Amino acid sequence: MGLLTYVLKKFLIGIPVIFGVTIILFYIMYTLPGDPIKLLLAGERVTPARIEELRRAWGLDQPVYIQYFYWLSHIVRGDLGVSIVTKEPVALLISQRLPYTLTLMLISTLLSYSIGVLAGLITALKRGTLIDGFVSIVGVINYSIPGFWFGLMLMLSFGYYLQLLPISGYEGPHSLVLPALSLALPSSAYVMRLTRAEMVEVLNEDYIRTARAKGLNKRRVLLVHALRNAMIPVVVMFFLNMPWLIGGAVVIETLFALPGMGRLLYVSIIRQDYAVVQGIVLIITVLTVVFNTLGDVVVAVLDPRIRVERGGGL
Amino acid sequence: MISLIREKIKSLSSSEEISLFLKHKRGMAGLILLSFMLFIALTADFIAPKRFDEVDPSSRLLPPSTANIFGTDQLGRDVFSRVVFGARIALWVGLLVVVIEAGIGVPLGLVAGYYGGSIDKLISAITDMLWAFPPIILALAIVTILGPGLTNVVIAVSVVSWAPYTRVVRAKTQSIMSREFIIAARAVGESSLSIMFRYVLPNTLSSVIVLATLTIPSAILYTTALSFLGFGAQPPTPDWGAMLNEGKDYIFKAPWCSVFPGLFITLTALSFNLLGDALRDVLDPKLRLG
Amino acid sequence: MSRILLEVRDLHICYETSRGCVRAVDGVSLVIYESETFCLVGETGCGKSTLALAIPRLLPPNARLLSGDIFFRGMNLLRINENELQKIRGKEIAMIFQNPMTSLNPVHMIGFQVAEVPATHFRISWREALLTAIKQLGKVGIPDPDLRSRNYPHVFSGGMKQRTMIAMMTTCKPSLLIADEPTTALDVTIQAQILKLLHELKNEYGLTLLLITHNFGIVAEVCDRVGVMYAGKLVEVAEVREIFENPQHPYTKGLIGCVVARKKSKTRLNQIAGAPPSLLNPPNGCRFHPRCSYTTPKCLREEPQLIEVCRGHLVACHNYERVG
């Protein structure tokens, strides 16, 4: 089995997962209190006959599984329904907001990874020294700070006292600096811990001693032999962490009033705009599956033990 | 269950693990910090100069002073008193979430590890899926269904984050299953249930204790985040997240309303993280959460 | 005998642990001559692997070199800097480890890992280094070396991995090859093949082999001279015939007894009573005295020194005359 087959297989596994989530999502929305027709009419006075007519027109008189397939067929065509509040198509709303969220996630991931990997490597290589102790303690503290409170403090210091960066709303790319920092802080600490743990473990491996016994210089031992192995879980975490960042983005975007998908989710929950909530959760599910699959694929590319080699092994 | 824990604690105190822990500087720092938080939570009625919901319209948004050392909020309530009472909520919530998580995750892990086969595959698939999904989003979805409130937030957070327990207990169970004393227990005809709870469970306990200590901070962070968004504790509950939610509207006029609750969330989370890291170093150095 | 290749002088090494300092090598001196096969024998934990790892300075980070010198061709390996050492490792002094399963890097191809050695030590292109590597892989008995060089280690069996290690460590035709229990982790049938391979390469390249083992069977088959270690000390050194025919130390005698008894008769397996001492606080006097059947009051008081009892035969025992 080659790499390509492996990748295809991994992607195919993702499909039933997405499918399963759509069933759960539909069922949750179906059982939610509140009659969708009444929400649709938004207090408009109509006759019961008219309600019945609308019910039939929307297919709400059908059994639940028919309704599900009806809904699913729309989703497959990219029709996520219409927002009850703004009457705009959900797909449009999401597609307008998603770029902000993805940009935010990307910036904060780059930030947290550059800081986290660097700090993790330093602490691993200087294990047991004062630097290690200091950076590790800073790491635990960062890990304990709630991102939203850190965001508030950044707002207060950089936005209000120093007046360096915008406090809320989106005025341009610099509006993403503080939100990205708030989102990056806890995950940088996580990346640091992971990098340190992996590196410390790899440096104790027998093959590192072999590399040294070969007469390779320190740099080559570290880069070609240690780092190459230690980075596999760290790179994979890069992908697995992405969906988790979306969760953080909801809180941070709401705090900084950014026009991203996270804030849209928050606003829609408050407004009981369930079609939008449903659409966003679906998108997040798809993104989660995609990122997880990418993670699996990257492991397979980086770690030859995961793939099964062509030709027989002895 | 309680007798098991008692036995475990007895076996711990007699071993060298206690002395190892006492030498762990960061662990001790965590323990001291946690004791401090526990102390103010337990004695909140005596420490707090005022009740947490005591409104005073004449002294709104006052900066920290000798009368109100953490200042007052938009309703003239003493921030210090509210923060002190908040410690009770945070610790209680953290404990509750962890107990529910362990209550769901540990038995599932035991069953998956003990029986293996298709039951294991099913449980593992659910665990993996849950693990991959962003917990905040899932918790939000659940809160949307259940409605806002601290109890619902506790339920939502516990329901979405038990996966680590299942993973760890499953792995431990698998490794224990091949040990002689399990084979012996089976040979003398002990029932599966009895083997799981009397032989396997006690051996997973140290991992579960470490895991619980390390998941309390994330439980507190998640619940306060949801309260911060307004889905959790409702006013006038002095929940730290809810306080931040109210305080953020006055962040520039009265930053003290936001600074102190957040600081206490950080300190509480920090105490558990330090303690948990130390417990892991001492009890179960190979435990991996990622 | 020919020229001295390696000389270890009064080497002391300890491991720092949470419970104190473990003196793994405690005052060992020995000499290895060019082109010989020297076997270091002893039970697990007697410090023989520590001694071996100390020569190319590959000890784990918690090991402390307390004192002593290691001379290789007159150069003190413990005094030169890391850069000079790197030029010697893999080129002059090569080492093969106990566990081939974990000694190869899982994410690099076999050919790459072997080729790194000539590429590091010779001024040749990467292409040439790869060709050298493939040739050497063929030499150590890997079939289809050209194809196999593009495999990753996980598809290789234990024996193939150890062959790869041997290829890697012999591409530069080193003067000294240290093999730290090279066959312990392998199947019995493979063990003989690997030993044969080492022996052949030794003869072909004229290299000196320092073989660490706990198996006296291996000693009898391939060694020229033998050093016996017990609890961090060298207790006896002699040529292989001399050791088997005329062991002078009670511990050596016991070890040989284990092997010989098994071969000669069907009587109960001979064994040395008791267990090796803790190196945290070893017994006073002679470290073997708690397990020895020749113990005298002097053994409890005074530590015996290595003395030459006849030409080339050293022993550290107060009562060697009674033993022999």
Looking up residue B144, the CATH number of its domain turns out to be: 1.10.3720.10
- Test the B interface: residue of A22, A29, A135, A144 with most B CBs within 10 Å: A144
Is 50 exceeded by the pLDDT of residue A311? no
Share of chain C above pLDDT 70, in %: 95
Give the Å distances, CA to CA, from C283 to B220, C44, C51, C287, C300.
55, 18, 21, 5, 8
* A291 contacts: CB under 8 Å, gap ≥ 6: A239, A240, A242, A243
**In this structure, are residues C208 and C5 in contact, taking their beta carbons and an 8 Å threshold?**
yes
Contacts of B136 in chain A (CB under 8 A): 247-248, 250-251
C154: nearest CA partner in chain A: A305
Interval C35-45: pLDDT, tens? 999 999 988 88
Residue A151: the pLDDT is: 95
- Test the C interface: residue of A207, A214, A302 with most C CBs within 10 Å: A214
Q: Å from B190 to nearest chain A CA?
A: 39
Interval A217-236: pLDDT, tens? 999 999 999 999 999 999 99
pLDDT band at C14 (very low <50, low <70, confident <90, very high): very high
Q: What are phi and psi of C233, to 5 degrees?
A: -120, 150
Q: Do B262 and A143 touch (CB under 8 A)?
A: no
Closest residue to A207, CB basis, from C95, C104, C155: C104
The residue with tokens 């284990």 is: C258
Residue of C323 and A121 predicted with greater confidence = A121
Q: Do C160 and A228 touch (CB under 8 A)?
A: no
Residue C276: the pLDDT is: 78
Per-residue tokens: A218: 């320190």
Q: How many CB atoms lie within 10 A of CB C22?
A: 21
**In this structure, are residues A105 and A302 in contact, taking their beta carbons and an 8 Å threshold?**
no
Does the A98-310 domain belong in CATH 1.10.3720.10? yes
Closest residue to A141, CB basis, from B225, B248, B270: B270
ipTM: 0.90
C296 CB within 8 Å of a chain A CB: no
Q: Do C103 and A209 touch (CB under 8 A)?
A: yes
Closest residue to C154, CB basis, from A224, A305, A311: A305
Residue of A128 and A306 predicted with greater confidence = A128
**In this structure, are residues A12 and A4 in contact, taking their beta carbons and an 8 Å threshold?**
no
Give the Å distances, CA to CA, from C272 to A44, A48, C235, C264, C292.
98, 99, 16, 18, 8
Residue A27: the pLDDT is: 79
Is 90 exceeded by the pLDDT of residue C177? yes
Residue A313: the pLDDT is: 31
Q: Do B137 and A281 touch (CB under 8 A)?
A: yes
Residue A206: the pLDDT is: 95
**In this structure, are residues C70 and C9 in contact, taking their beta carbons and an 8 Å threshold?**
yes
> Stretch C174-195: mean pLDDT, rounded?
91
Per-domain residue ranges of chain A: 98-310
Closest residue to C107, CB basis, from A216, A303, A313: A303
Domain that holds residue B200: 2-289
C168 CB within 8 Å of a chain A CB: yes
> Stretch C258-274: mean pLDDT, rounded?
61
Q: Å from A215 to nearest chain C CA?
A: 4
Q: Å from A78 to nearest chain B CA?
A: 22
Question: Considering only A132-136, A274-278, C180-184, which range has the smallest mean pLDDT?
Answer: A274-278
The CA dihedral of A163, A164, A165, A167, to the nearest 10 degrees, is -20
Residue B141: the pLDDT is: 85
Residue C312: the pLDDT is: 86
* Pair type for strands C313-315 and C208-213: unpaired
Contacts of A146 in chain B (CB under 8 A): 221, 224-225, 228, 262, 265-266, 269
> Stretch A158-172: mean pLDDT, rounded?
89
- Test the B interface: residue of A148, A196, A270 with most B CBs within 10 Å: A148
Contacts of A266 in chain B (CB under 8 A): 229
* C62 contacts: CB under 8 Å, gap ≥ 6: C15, C16, C17
Interval C85-130: pLDDT, tens? 999 999 999 999 999 999 999 999 999 999 999 999 999 999 999 9
Residue A314: the pLDDT is: 30
Q: Do C90 and A214 touch (CB under 8 A)?
A: yes
Contacts of A224 in chain C (CB under 8 A): 108
Residue B224: the pLDDT is: 95
Instruction: For chain B, list residues with pLDDT below 70.
Output: 1-15, 288-290
Helix axes B256-283, B240-247, angle to 10 degrees: 150
Mean pLDDT of chain A: 87
Contacts of A145 in chain B (CB under 8 A): 262, 266, 269
Question: Considering only A239-243, B17-21, C212-216, which range has the smallest mean pLDDT?
Answer: B17-21
Closest residue to A148, CB basis, from B225, B255, B269: B225
B263: nearest CA partner in chain A: A145
Interval A256-290: pLDDT, tens? 999 999 999 999 988 888 889 889 988 998 898 88
Q: Do A215 and C152 touch (CB under 8 A)?
A: no
C44 CB within 8 Å of a chain A CB: no
Residue B290: the pLDDT is: 47
Beta bridge partners of A276: none
> Stretch C155-171: mean pLDDT, rounded?
95
> What's the number of domains chain B is made of?
1
Residue A33: the pLDDT is: 62
Distance, CA of B260 to CA of B220 (rounded, Å): 16
pTM higher than the cut 0.95: no
Q: Å from B260 to nearest chain A CA?
A: 10
Size of interface A-C (CB pairs under 8 A): 92
Contacts of B135 in chain A (CB under 8 A): 244, 247
Interval C220-254: pLDDT, tens? 888 999 999 998 999 999 999 998 888 889 898 88
Closest residue to B136, CB basis, from A150, A240, A247: A247
Interval A14-71: pLDDT, tens? 788 788 878 877 877 777 666 666 666 666 677 778 778 877 777 777 788 888 888 8
Residue B12: the pLDDT is: 56
